Amino acid sequence: MGRSLSRAVIGSVLAFGFVLHAPLIAGAAATKKPVPAVADACQIVTQAAAAEFLGTPVAQSGSGSSCDYAGNGGIAAVTVRVRTLSGPDVAFTKKQIKSAKNATALKLGDAASEAITPGGGGGIQVLKGKVLLDVSARKSDASGQQVVALDPTAFATFARAAFGRLYAKSSSGSSSSSASSSSATPLDPCQVVTPEEVAIVLGGTVTATPAGSQDCDFRSNAGKTLRVTVATGKPRYETDAKHFTGTHVSGLGDVAFLAQPNGLVGFLKGQHVVEMQTSSALVSQDDVNALEDLARKAAARA
């Protein structure tokens, strides 16, 4: 077989041409079990962030180490993968990223590169320590019918924000975290507000469904949704407030922001971060007031 086959090799290839690294063992040996990810991929790139970047509403699927967003019938898409590599794979992956053909180097992590394919898609990989982040995307035109070329600068900015979230999450979970952060009692995202309270925002009859330990989806029979996300740590709050260029909201938690075009409100209270995002933009002031009032009810329970 040769010595090279005993090393990890590049595995999966996205439909729009960017390579993801998946460790494989050649021959009769079984594939290595995936190493658990350090964070939820759907929190590293949120639904709101994907929709903002693509310029169209998106549907979300996946959780844990893998998250996918699709809009305009799947023509527009963002894919996020995050995982922790085993020791031997770190050096190999770092070398592969740095030597990737037709890739532009980025100053992120220990090694990073960006590749834009002729067909309009692209991908960015960032390795920091043992953590590998893959972000891939393709955009559609205004009609939602054709794939258009990615702007390399805009895509790099998008990936930097994702890396910032990952870094904040990794830092908040490390041994260097403050005592107040590590001792914060976790919030239940399905308990900080009630379906009846959410119904004031969405209309109709609302049901709540857990979507992992940090998220809860509230769905109305009127066809609208609201996602509640809970996290801990001021770095997480500051990263999101900056990414969404939110406006300050007074009288909500210790500090709060509103991103009206994204239908998103978030606040920090102590070490608790709570974010609420509707499935559509906040069009009127009444919409804004209703979401802020809902967030204040959550803050009272945080």
Domain of 273 in residue numbering reads as: 182-301
**Residue 159 pLDDT exceeds 50:** yes
Q: What's the CA dihedral at 238, 243, 248, 254 to 10 degrees?
A: -20
Let me know whether 128 and 205 are in one domain. Answer: no
pLDDT value of residue 60? 87
More confident residue, 85 or 14: 85
**Residue 233 pLDDT exceeds 60:** yes
> In this structure, is residue 283 part of a structural domain?
yes
Domain total in the chain: 2
DSSP 8-state secondary structure symbol assigned to residue 233: -
Asked if residues 160 and 154 have their Cβ atoms less than 8 Å apart, the reply is no
pLDDT value of residue 167? 63
Q: Which residue has the tokens 């460790």?
A: 23
> In this structure, is residue 177 part of a structural domain?
no
Q: What CA–CA distance (Å, rounded) separates 302 from 300? A: 6
How much is the mean pLDDT over the chain? 77
More confident residue, 204 or 156: 204
Residue 156 belongs to domain with CATH number:
3.40.1000
Let me know whether 60 and 163 are in one domain. Answer: yes
pLDDT value of residue 218? 95
Let me know whether 9 and 156 are in one domain. Answer: yes
Let me know whether 56 and 90 are in one domain. Answer: yes
Let me know whether 134 and 197 are in one domain. Answer: no
> In this structure, is residue 143 part of a structural domain?
yes
Let me know whether 191 and 284 are in one domain. Answer: yes
Let me know whether 149 and 35 are in one domain. Answer: yes
C-alpha of 110 from chain center: 21
Percent of residues, the chain, with pLDDT higher than 90: 24
- For β-strands 59-63 and 66-71, DSSP reports them as antiparallel
> In this structure, is residue 97 part of a structural domain?
yes
pLDDT in tens, 266-280: 999 999 999 999 988
Its pTM stands at 0.47
**Closest of 156, 142, 172, 150 to residue 239, by C-alpha:** 172
**205: confidence class by pLDDT, cuts 50, 70, 90:** very high
**228: confidence class by pLDDT, cuts 50, 70, 90:** very high
Structure tokens at 149: 């070329």
Amino acid at 84: T
Amino acid at 44: I
